[in-house]
Structure 1
């Protein structure tokens, strides 16, 4: 006899619902959409408290059992995925748990980082990298971490 373990999904104004992940991923998402009052057409998924997206919304995973991607007795936060239209920028991940910064500050920060494109290199960084390659760093002054003297 196998033990059915439920998952807890947090959303809205600090609301929480229990779901049985022992079903196909698409069916679980449909149940979550209905119970958590989400709009049709939104791409929903779950993220654990460490910021790991379950990816049950992925088309390749929709016919697989959600229990393959989710751990029983664990808490998840409901998120909306906004796909990048250009494909050049990363997808945006929005928590559907209001005031997530207060409940899970690390998770809020992680979702924000995952949604931002890679940092562009500034002109100053490019100049430094170019000088470093040419071996002409002597004109660039830097402070030594051990003392406040100038390195030449």
Structure 2
């Protein structure tokens, strides 16, 4: 039970699915020379994010639960913003658009969708927490004032 992970300057790594998610991600970080604190994930050739970076029990969950054998995956870096809602995805396969034109667009969509969700939630939260203030109404001219204004403009 193996999968192929593509990264770098068209590098490939065959990995065994019978390992824990934590072991797989640590191995892939070493291979692509990522920092240990970096978050990585995989994208399949159809553009589906595998969400390995969100596995709660990465030390005990097997990779075979999340990946399909004999498939090809692209290694990506997950860059989280101030909150876990704002996320950007970067390909760790150089020239992704050359190898997988649709996947380059898909990564941009994934990044934009999480940023838009974050902005929408932040905006709706701000709207809810802002105190409502009303502006005083402007006085309306009475009929006498209106007629006086009209007479003054006709001269």
| Separation of aligned partners in 2, 1:94 and 1:56 | 15
Which runs of 5 or more residues in structure 1 are unaligned?
121-152
Provide the residue aligned with 2:142 in structure 1.
none
Alignment of 1:103 onto 2:99: yes
| 39-48 or 78-87, larger mean C-alpha shift | 78-87
User: Which of 3, 13, 23 in structure 2 is aligned with 1:7?
Assistant: 3
| Separation of aligned partners in 1, 2:57 and 2:40 | 13
| Separation of aligned partners in 2, 1:78 and 1:32 | 8
| Separation of aligned partners in 2, 1:61 and 1:109 | 31
Give the 3-state SS of the residue equivalent to 1:76 in structure 2.
Answer: strand
Alignment of 1:65 onto 2:62: yes
1:82-134 alpha-carbon deviations (Å, 9 max, x no partner): 112145x53101010011011111111010011113399xxxxxxxxxxxxxx
Provide the residue aligned with 1:39 in structure 2.
35
TM-score of the aligned structures, taking structure 2 as reference length? 0.68
| Separation of aligned partners in 2, 1:86 and 1:24 | 27
User: Which structure has the bigger radius of gyration?
Assistant: 2
TM-score of the aligned structures, taking structure 1 as reference length? 0.70
Provide the residue aligned with 1:118 in structure 2.
116
Aligned length: 115
Verify the 8 A CA contact 2:17 2:63 in the aligned structure 1: yes
Verify the 8 A CA contact 1:10 1:16 in the aligned structure 2: yes
Give the 3-state SS of the residue equivalent to 1:57 in structure 2.
Answer: helix
- The 4+ residue runs of structure 1 with deviation greater than 2 A are 117-120
Which runs of 5 or more residues in structure 2 are unaligned?
120-155
| 32-41 or 69-78, larger mean C-alpha shift | 32-41
Alignment of 1:78 onto 2:75: yes
| Separation of aligned partners in 1, 2:43 and 2:83 | 24
Verify the 8 A CA contact 1:84 1:91 in the aligned structure 2: yes
Q: Which has the higher helix share?
A: 2
Cα distance change on mapping 1:58 and 1:86 into 2, 3 Å: closer
